[in-house]
Chain A
Amino acid sequence: MSVAKPLTHDAARLHVTGAARYVDDIPTPTGTLNLAFGTSSVAHGEVTGCDLAEVRAAPGVVAVLTADDLPFANDVSPSIHDEPLLAKSVVHYVGQPIFCVVADTHLAARKAARLAKIDYAEHPALLTIDEALAADSRFEDGPRIYEKGDAEAALAAAPRLVEGSIEIGGQEHFYLEGQAALALPQEGGDMLVHSSTQHPTEIQHKVAEALGVPMHAVRVETRRMGGGFGGKESQGNALAVACAVAARATGRPCKMRYDRDDDMEITGKRHDFRIAYRAGVDEDGRIIGIVFEHFCRCGWSQDLSLPVADRAMLHADNAYHLPSAKIISHRLRTNTQSATAFRGFGGPQGMLGIERVMDHIAHDLGCDPLQVRRLNFYRAPEERPGGIAPPGPPAGYLETGKIEKGADLASRGVTEAVAQTPAPVVPSGAQTTPYHMPVEDFILHDMVATLEESADYAARRERVRAWNAENPILKKGIALTPVKFGISFTLTHLNQAGALVHVYQDGSIHMNHGGTEMGQGLFQKVAQVAAASFGVDLDAVKITATDTGKVPNTSATAASSGSDLNGMAVKAACDTIRNRMAAHLADLHQTEPRKVHFEGGKVFVGDEEYTFAEATAQAYAGRVSLSATGFYKTPKVQWDRIAGRGRPFFYFAYGAAVTEVVIDRLTGENRILRTDILHDCGASLNPALDIGQIEGGYVQGAGWLTTEELVWNAKGRLTTHAPSTYKIPACSDRPRIFNVTLWDGANREETIYRSKAVGEPPFMLGISALMALSDAVAACGDGSVYPALDAPATAERVLWAVRRQEAGA
């Protein structure tokens, strides 16, 4: 069978020969125009004068569009219509598009965009968390609060109190392929859009609104992206809409790609957070009650910030049972890029908060943080992991939830009015999360024990101690951190997917689904599912570009859900066709359909055997439909995001990592020496692709917390807007020793071949790098001062933390 095999990426051959096409590589018709935005140079202000005469007169310029030139919706927001494509009068951040140049060439458009003379009446700009708090500048009315038990009472009664705060920086996606779109006008006012997007349906929706046409008049195609990481869930809207509007206005194809600087200055990034904590613990380090306060810098527009901040709250527990907890979340509006989806979607920030608490408790107690972590783990379920979960009640969400009129239905940014969701039934013995969901599949006890042994944790901790005793300059640190990540869109209705499968008369198979390919190998995994359904070789299955004309109403390829959702939908479509073929062949041979088997490229009917192509031809001649759609919706999920109560996740994905680092106490330089990872992909659909996700996710996560520092100047301009100033991990930054192993166990929930989602969870394994640095810094002192390392822990930040240790000692 084609599933569970470590097959290479489906497009690997195209990539290594340079033949794989990205949007900017698609051959365009003669006369194609290129676009560039003219952007705001102030962080907040009113445009008092906008002289575009020189822009219009510049060589190669065909048209210049402003907000006044947009015939229909001037909106590229994925949530509450607060994000115009082109600013109307008020600008809200440095880099906000104000006008759009349409010119013969990319260079001509960019050059002309710089010739504008714009006058502003500047308003005070809110750039930081503190400034936004002081001005009470926020989304939603006040802070969102999730509560379980009486945390304040528990704190008051606790023998020990651990409190502190951590600053967590944002992160630039730095997908290697910048944002890009190409719009080609079709007959009758229709529009074809090629977009580098994780969410073709959202592009289709926004383009249709901007052109004043029904969605059926817009077709969006996405073959692949050169990386996405969440940065292409909503941030591609502006380019696609601009291209479509310009194409409509000029009657010519229009293309737009952001240069790297523009991309970094215009588009949103990971939310930066401050997390303040007060934990009441017992003498062993067990948490009795905890209060978290999340301060989330959302930027100027709402975008996807509410569900991001929600997911941070939903991961405030990570792997730990919090008997009582209160999580307060402030969603702050600032005059900076509108922060957006980024791998983990708030989960990493929330999780880092509790991991920081674990580290802090252990430091206070003077014990190994692993001991404290383990002590606080959720209880293991009584049944064995991998056991089959009972079916849940049918999801009643859509029946109870009401969608606002005019809402952006397919976007995670939509907010729903939610009917009261009953508290989930808690099986006896199960512990619950702070949002009252029972944790029934907790496998970290076994996983951590296994990793501890394979990584030789205890002996290495001793060696680190011995090393630090002997070496005055270079100090080592080690940490093991776990991950428990919730899988499902927290906007429940997005947990659906469609597929379209055709079997042609020669036995070749055309497969299409709503997921997009950004490098993660989704297309290959889903093709493996299709090949397995028909019992054919993978090369019988044609992988095709995501296309809103083939599968409608798709959700973003996001929330790690790609193969869970689309794999099931494709399987449903394939099974439909296979069952029709089986019924027909059974009829021909006067046997039962269940006695028809599809295997090894053959179809066995009783004693007869056909090649798959012969069987297909038989079915075609017998007038059997060889085309089918497939549909899937995730069962069991149902929750109330306002109250913070219910089951937002179908299941959890788990992992754990041990990282060892060394720092130079004279400079703060630091290196990852060794990383060992044990990660849970359920019964992996493709171990090679999954391991690739884990390795890449870890390095990206460690980069977020160590070298990747975003800096804005006092005027709100992002000064790290190129790879020459913003440090992405390079080849020499990867761990010297890097061992990645998959946990051997099936998903207890009924997912596609019992696999688990893998896109986001491994990112948070990178937290172990920050905790190892904290350990190394602590080794420079006498134990009296907690390192309280903020993120990213750049060399300079590590040095000053070391100096605090030295001063405290």
Chain B
Amino acid sequence: MSHSQARALSLFDGAILRRAALDAVVKLDPRRLARNPVIFVTEVVAAVVTVIFVKDLVLGAGSPMFEGQIALWLWFTVLFANFAEAVAEGRGKAQADALRKTRSDTVAKRLLFPDGDDSLFEGVSSLDLELDDLVVCEPGDVIPADGEVVRGVASVNESAITGESAPVIRESGGDRSAVTGGTTVLSDRIVVRITAAPGSTFIDRMIALVEGASRQKTPNELALSILLSGLTLIFLITVVTLWGIAGYSGTVVSVTVLVALLVTLIPTTIGGLLSAIGIAGMDRLIRFNVVATSGRAVEAAGDVDTLLLDKTGTITFGNRMATEFVAVPGVGAAALAEAAWLASHADETPEGRSIVALAQGSGGAGPKSTADAVFVPFTAQTRLSGVDLPGRSIRKGAVDAVIRHLGTTLAETPAAFREAVDRIARTGGTPLAVSENGRLIGVIHLKDIVKPDIKERFAELRAMGIRTVMVTGDNPVTAAAIASEAGVDDFIAEATPQDKLAYIRSEQTHGRLIAMCGDGTNDAPALAQADVGVAMQSGTQAAREAGNMVDLDSNPTKLIEVVAIGKQLLMTRGSLTTFSIANDVAKYFAIIPALFVATWPELSRLNVMGLASPESAILSAVIFNALIIVALIPLALKGIAYRPVGAAAVLRRNLLVYGVGGLILPFVGIKAVDLVVAALHLA
């Protein structure tokens, strides 16, 4: 992740904070606040108390000092909530500005005759390009818009998007044909067919996403705001009816005090932080170099039940490696190792190199001279490679190919050879036969190497209730062996894209959510069908459009972290909601006795915190209510601590911290504020 450091602005960067403070005031506009019912209600009642304050100040009636302070803190409550949202948006905005620079109007070289000569083009503004236009990009050119390479191959600097400065290869056909507007061609010449209209390119979408401009409330966020609005309404009923009920008891409760009660009861804490939590979740993902096309996708990531992981590159290293030499009886181990070394020393494939490394490790290396060796390269016809030396002819290859080369049959081979081949195949490896001068001398065991700590990762996922499914083109025997070594829960062997799609659909009919990643065009249907489809930035345009996330680092292992980020987002929301509601208990004990103590002095028994006076009790509750929002901004932005353990354990912990903590903390907090208020003679 070192390459993305440049964009990892600190959470509380000075510039962001200054901008956020200004935005907090701008956001007071009731039309914007109406999106957030809890804070909107707070703003309305703050205005009401302000009017009362001004009226009492002018008329010299009531207690303007008290009313003024309540009004002030109510406005602070609204401002703090706005500030939280503004800080969360701040980093995104800074990032959007940087991205916007790359989008600046460039001159595109549009082909005059799409089917004809590539050298005849006209210069047009990139903003005037239309879908399916063909443009030419030469070294130094900025690619004008998203598109697909139709002719040629070029190295492209995509650091504007990915933060990764190493160039990538983009070529026509295959899975690396997609290019992104705003990236720069470094070498060679390509012809690109435009696939995105101006304004809807990848960069445009990214800007909109990081900026939060096109931010819609996600389904879960919406459901939660309905709960919060419902609670607000319930407390509104409670407070409004209290006026009548208190009237019966002979208490005339002032509007200011009722407002104070209302604001402390309605869930302002979570109401104020809700959108900040959502924005921060998206932001965490972006800093992780994954761009989600919607907040919905991030939430879905938290819900994922099954991860579909490609074997190669995710579970195993991309290449098979030699792990063992098995010599037939009568051939020394060192002799086999030496023959294998000779047959592979000129073989530049990763497998060949791994054979050389293994041979050197087992003492078979380093014959005197290889100057007169003639390397026999692999061909599709022979399916063999090897080396010819004076008096020696060594071949290695798939078992059937070597046997055919020797003009024999498997049944005629030595029993020990057959056993070794069987054993290797059974454990998921690939046996390579080695022959020298027309005689079988042994087997090389090539094996998929499972990434070192992947098994633990899968165990963590299992503890979180997430199944992992390995997808591979290998045969079932090989797949089963690797699956058991890597510790995945299930595998799909000899998988075709259709198999993937069918598997996803069948899981979904059982109500499970599936995440997968893919890069090829043939992955696109499955990516679109999956609930979370992470497309690799290096992949095809089709794949990138089918998925709902794009991984700029093109690292399929990241799927696991994406799930974690989704879960953390939901946990943060839930924990702060619980905290907010639990807070109300203490506020009641502060305000109710204060409210009615004049009528029923006996109710002072409920003043368990021993608050100084009714006014200071009410004021302290309101101040605490406002300050807690500020205090929780860092938590809302960073997300609560996340550990990959089972739901029951997570729940127990969060409940203890945020539920029980939420019950107790305000008793302490309100008392502390009350001490200060009383000491300063504020009320």
The answer on A and B forming one complex is no
